[in-house]
Structure 1
C-alpha cells in the first residue's frame, strides 16, 4: 500500500514531496524518514481509505466465523488429521466471543484430539473450560464421560527418559549466574565503537557458556496457532485473547504479562499488522520490542533514550551493553552496517502506518508533546530494524503422537540484549538453543582465551554459506561465497581419532542410558575436530551431538508438539 501511495504522489508531479523523502533518507535522524512517510500516508488517507475505528474491531469476534473454522476442523478430525484439526479448533477459539456457545464447542472438540493423543490432563482442562462456558446441554454427558475416561488414564502413555538422564540434564542446564552480569567466563571489549565478546578462559565443546531470556520473540504465521504469543512454547491447549482474533496463550499468567508489556496496545491494531512474510514478522517483532521498551517508562525517559543509541550508547557504559535488566541495552547496536538505504525507505512506510494507527486510536501517544513522542517511537523502531541483530531459533519439542522428541524446523525469531552483540559466521563456535523461555549458549568448538564468540542461525554447519547481505547486512568473505570449495581437510591424526571413535556404532547406542555417554564423547570429538568445521567428519559428529543435546532439552522442555503426519 505504501508503494501505491508514493507512486501516486510521484505521478502527480509532487516534486517537493519526492525531494523531502530523499532528504529524509540522508538525514542522520532516523525519525525523519518515518515521519515523512507518515505525512504522505496522512495525505493519502484523507483522499482514500478511512481509518477503521477501534469500536468496530470487536465485530470480528463472531460465533459464525468460529463455527466455520470448527466445522473445517471436524473434517480433518474425521480424517485423523489431528494437527490440522487442532489448528482450526484453536482458530475457532480465537474468533469465539468470550464464554459463548461457540467457545464451549471449540474447547469440547479440542478435548477430543487431546484424548486421542493421550494428553489426558490437557484434555480434562479443556473439558472444564467447555463446561464453564455456554455449553450446549446435549454434549454435557459426552464431556463428563470423556473426563471420567481421561482421569483413569492420567499419567499413562507419557514417554519419559529415565531419572538418570533427567537428573543429568537438569544439572547440565543449571548455570549459576554472576551477581551483576550472568557471563562470568566472558569478557566484553569495545573496539572502534563495536562490542566484541570474547572468552576469558578456555571453553570446551559441549559446555554451557551462559543463558538469557529473550527481550522479545515472534514466529511466522504458520506457528501462530500452536505457539504461546508470550513465551513461545508449543502447547496444544492454548487460550485466546479476549479482545482480538490473532493471538493465543499457554496460560493466564502469560496473557497477563503480554498485556502489561505490549499486547494491550498491540491488540487494538492487530488487524493492521501484516505477518504474511518474513519481513512482516520482523516488523511485528520490532514493533512489540518498542512497545515493551516504552512499558514502565515515562515518555521523557523514552524520548531521551531514543537520542542516545548505537555506538554512542555503547561508549557511555560498558556494563550496560550486557545488562539485560536495563531495557534500553537493546539500543546498544552498532550502526556500522552497509546496505541500509533500500530497507530504510521500504520500512519507513510500514512503521509510519503503525504510528498512524496508534495515533488515531488515541490510547498511546500523549496529547502533550505528541510529536516528540511519535518521533522517538519512530526513531527507536527504525534503529532496531536496521541495526539490532535478530536471532533465529529452532526449538526441540515433545511430539505427543510419535512419543519422542524432535527438532521443530519452523523457526522463531528473537531480540536479545546479549545475543545481539555476537557476530555471525558460517562456521560458528557457539550454538543457541531455546528451552522454556530461556536461550542457552553452548560451545560447539574449543574456544580459547581471547577468541570471539560467534553464532549462526542455521540448523547445522554446512559447506554452503547462508550469510547474505539481505539478511545480515554484510557479505561473508568465506570461501563458499567466492565460488570455491569450503570443505575442510582433516589431518592424519584427526582422521585416526575419528576412525577410533566409531561414530556409526555410537549412533546405534543412542538409547536412554547411553545418551550422556554419547553426548560427552561427541563433545570431546568436537574439540578435536574444531578447526575443520566444514569437514564431513565434524558435521557427522556434530549431528549426533545435536541429537543428544536435543534429548537433554526434551527432558526439561514444557513444549508439546503434534506432528502433521498423524494417522
Structure 2
C-alpha cells in the first residue's frame, strides 16, 4: 500500500461516514502543528488505517539470485548492469558470509573488465580479508597481479587531478560574508514585508562569478541512484559498502556509513522496506530524515525542545542563526537554519493540511511502534517528545517542498549526446532557500557530480542593489505565462511578478532576434555558437567548454540590454551546458537503473 492509496482510503471512509466537514472544522480550530497531527493520528487509529511493518532481512538465497543475474549480464559484456546486480547481491549477503565475498569477487571482475584497476584491487583486497571459497584464490591472485602491472604510476593509481582551469571557474574568489558563511561578501540578506527575507547585491556582479558555495544540512538520494551512489555523500565511488543491517543503502566509506548511522540511519534502517514500498516522495522522506537528525544531534529531548523554542522566538534579524564565539552565524549545518524556513501554512488549504497531516501521522506511527526513537525514562518527556515530533514532522513536510533543492546532472543519451537531465538527490540548503524566484533568473545553481556542494553562479550581470533571483522550475522560455503562474501558485503559494511575467516575455520558439544588435556582437555570437561548437558541447567536449566559457560570459554581458532575445537565450543555455560539463556527466550505461524493489523477489530461480 502506497501513502497515496492510504490517504485515498482514509478519505473514502470519512466520506462514507459523512465526517469530512466535521474534521475540516476541527482542523481549522487548531493553531499548532502537533495538535493537527495528533488529531489526525487518532482518526487513522480509529479507522485501523496505519500500515503494518514490512520486514526484509539479509538472505543468501536473494544474494545468489542477484549474483546470477549479474553473471548473465557480465557474460553479455553489459558491465554496468552487472555491476548494479552485484551490488544488490552484496546488499542482501549477510556480512562476512561466503556469498558476501563472492559478490565482491564478481564485482572486482567487472572492474577489471572496465580497466578500473584501482577499484578492482580494492575489492580483491577486501575478499582476501573475508571467508571465501578456495577455488577463487588463484583467480584473485591473478586479478591482483594484473591490476598491479597496469597501475604503472602513482597518478593512475590515485586518479586524475582536477583540472585547474575548471577548479578556478567553479571556485568562489574573494572574501565570504562572516555571518552568512557560505556566501560571497558581495551579497547581503535583507527583509521587507513584500519579499520576506531575500538576497541583494552589495556590489556589481559579472556573469560567471561564483556567489555561494553551500553544503546541505542533509540530502536524500533517489532510489534510482541507490546502486551507483553513496547514500550519504553522493560520491560516485564504485567500491560501495553495504549497510550492516538493511538491504538497501550503500556507502563509499566506513566514515560515511558511520555518519549516516549516527545522524539518522540507525532509526531509519528497519523502516527502509516500508518507506520504499509505500512510495513516499523524496520530499516527504527528507522531512522525516530532518526530524530524526535534529533529535540525534542533540544530547537529549530537552535540549532539542530548547533549540526549537529559541529558534521560533528569535527576532527577525537573527532568524535561523546560532551564536559562535559571540558572533551570529547562519549556516546550513545548524538545524535552526532549516527549522526557521517558511512553511506557508497560512496560505494552505485545509485539504492540503489534512493530507500532509496524514503523512506525518503515518511517520509518527512508524517511529512510535517500530523504533526506539521516542523512548525516554521520563514519562513527561516522552509525552512531550511525541508532541514535538508530531509537530515537527508536519512542519518539515510543509517546509521541504518550497525550500529544498534538487541535485541533478546531465546524462548521455543512446546516441552519445549529453542533453538529458538526470535527478540524483534532494538537499536542505538554508542559504539557497533565501533566494526568491524569477521566471528570468539572474543566477544558476550547480552541483559537482558525486558531491553535495551546491554553488550559485551569476547568469546575468547584476548591478549593486539588485535582487538575486533563482528559478524554481518555471522558466519563461519553456512555459507560458498562465502555466507558470498556476504552477507557482500551487506549490509555492505566490503570484509571480518578475519582469518576464509583468512584460509577458515570449516562449523561446516565439522569441525574436535582438533589435539593432551591434555587428561585433552578431559576429561573436556566430563564432561562439556555431553548429560545430554546439555539437562538440553536446558530446561533452571539455576542452571546447573551457575555451568557450569566458567569451560566453562576456557575450552574455553584451546581450543583456537586448533581453529577451534568442541570442541571449542561446548564450545562457550554452553557458549552462559548459557548467554541466565542468561539474560532471553521467555516461549512458550508468544512467540505466536495473529493476529492484522494496520487497525481494519470491522466486530465486532464473527464467530459461
TM-score class normalised by the smaller sequence: 0.7 to 0.9
Task: Answer yes or no: is the 8 Å Cα contact 1:396–1:553 preserved in 2.
Answer: no
Offset, 1:532: 5.6
Q: Please say if residues 63 and 96 of structure 1, whose CA atoms lie closer than 8 Å, have aligned partners that are also in contact.
A: yes
Q: Are the counterparts in 2 of residues 407 and 550 from structure 1 also a CA contact under 8 Å?
A: no
> 2:456 matched to 1:441?
yes
Give the aligned partner of residue 330 of structure 2. Answer: 322
The equivalent position to 1:82 in structure 2, one of 75, 79, 83, is: 79
Q: CA deviation at 1:61?
A: 0.7
Alignment of 1:54-65 (within 5 A): 57=55, 60-65=57-62
Alignment match of 1:543 (pick from 559, 564, 573): 573
Q: Give the aligned partner of residue 498 of structure 1.
A: 522
Give the one of 200, 203, 206 matched to 1:201. Answer: 203
Moved more, 80-89 or 286-295: 80-89
| CA shift digits 1:452-495 (9 cap, x unpaired) | 21222559983326751444344546767999834554231367
1:314 Cα deviation after fit: 6.3
Which runs of structure 2 are paired with 1:257-276 in the superposition (5 Å)? 257-274=259-276
CA distance in 2, matches of 1:411, 1:495: 43
Indicate the SS of the match to 1:98. coil
Shift of 1:3: 2.7
Cα deviation for residue 20 of structure 1 reads: 4.3
Which residues of structure 2 form unaligned runs of 5+? 322-328, 594-608
Q: How does 1:144-159 map to 2 (within 5 A)?
A: 144-154=141-151
Compute the TM-score of the two structures, normalised by the length of structure 2: 0.80
Asked if the contact 1:70–1:88 (Cα under 8 Å) also holds between the matched residues in 2, the reply is yes
What residue number does 2:557 align with?
A: 527
Q: Counterpart in 1 of 2:221?
A: 219
C-alpha contact (below 8 Å) 1:73/1:84 kept by paired residues: yes
Change in 2 beyond 3 A, CA 1:341/1:84: farther
Match of 2:437 among 424, 428, 449: 424
- Over 3 Å counting, the alpha-carbon distance change for 1:560 and 1:463 in structure 2 is closer
Partner of 1:563: 590
Of the three residues 14, 20, 24, the one matched with 1:10 is: 14
Question: Closer, same or farther in 2 for the Cα pair 1:244/1:402, shift >3 Å?
Answer: farther
Give, in angstroms, the shift of residue 131 of structure 1.
2.8
The separation in 2 between residues aligned to 1:495 and 1:443, in whole angstroms, is 26
Could you say what secondary structure the match of 1:114 adopts? Answer: helix
CA shift, 1:370, in A, is: 2.0
RMSD: 3.7
Q: Which runs of 5+ in 1 are unaligned?
A: none
Q: Distance in 1 between matches of 2:72 and 2:502?
A: 48
CA distance in 2, matches of 1:25, 1:477: 30
2:39 counterpart SS class? helix
Contact residue 215 and residue 333 of structure 2 kept, 8 A: no
1:450 to 425, 444, 465: 465
Structure 1 SS opposite 2:256:
helix
CA contact (8 A) 1:220 1:275 kept: no
Aligned-partner Cα distance in 2 for 1:266–1:551: 35
SS of corresponding position for 2:422 = coil
Is 1:32 the counterpart of 2:57? The answer is: no
1:485 is aligned to 2:488: no
- Summarize the Cα distance change of 1:137–1:474 in structure 2 as closer, same or farther, 3 Å threshold: farther
Give TM-score, length-normalised by structure 1.
Answer: 0.85
Cα deviations across residues 262-318 of structure 1 (Å, max 9, x unaligned)? 1111112222213775x62211111111211222223123234445667x6561615
1:92 aligns with 89
User: SS at the partner of 1:441?
Assistant: strand
Q: Work out the number of aligned pairs and report it.
A: 551
Query: Structure 1 residues 565, 387: closer, same or farther in 2, change over 3 A?
Result: closer
Q: Within 5 Å, which residues of 2 pair with 1:229-378?
A: 229-274=231-276, 280-297=281-298, 298-307=300-309, 313=314, 315=316, 317-318=318-319, 320=321, 322-336=330-344, 338-367=347-376, 368=379, 369-378=381-390
The Cα offsets for residues 149-204 of structure 1, whole Å up to 9 and x where unpaired, read as: 122222689799998x8222233344354444322111111212821111111111
8 Å CA contact retained: 1:218, 1:232: no
* Compared CA separation, residues 547 and 20, structure 1 to 2 (3 A): closer
Is the 8 Å Cα contact of residues 476 and 505 (structure 2) preserved in structure 1? no
Q: 2-side partners of 1:96 and 1:235: how far apart? A: 20
Q: Is the 8 A contact 1:95 1:245 kept in 2?
A: yes
Instruction: Give the direction of change, closer, same or farther, for the CA distance of 1:411–1:459 in structure 2 (3 Å limit).
Output: farther
Are residues 503 and 12 of structure 1, via their aligned partners in 2, closer, same or farther at CA, if it must alter by over 3 Å?
Answer: closer
Matched-pair contact (CA < 8 Å) for 2:197–2:434? yes
The answer to which of 202-211 and 85-94 deviates more is 85-94
Q: Which residue of 2 aligns with 1:393?
A: 407
Say which SS state the counterpart of residue 28 (structure 1) adopts: coil
* 2:374–2:386 CA contact under 8 A, matched in 1: yes
Query: Distance in 2 between the 1:173 and 1:459 partners?
Result: 25
Structure 1 stretch displaced more, 330-339 or 71-80: 330-339
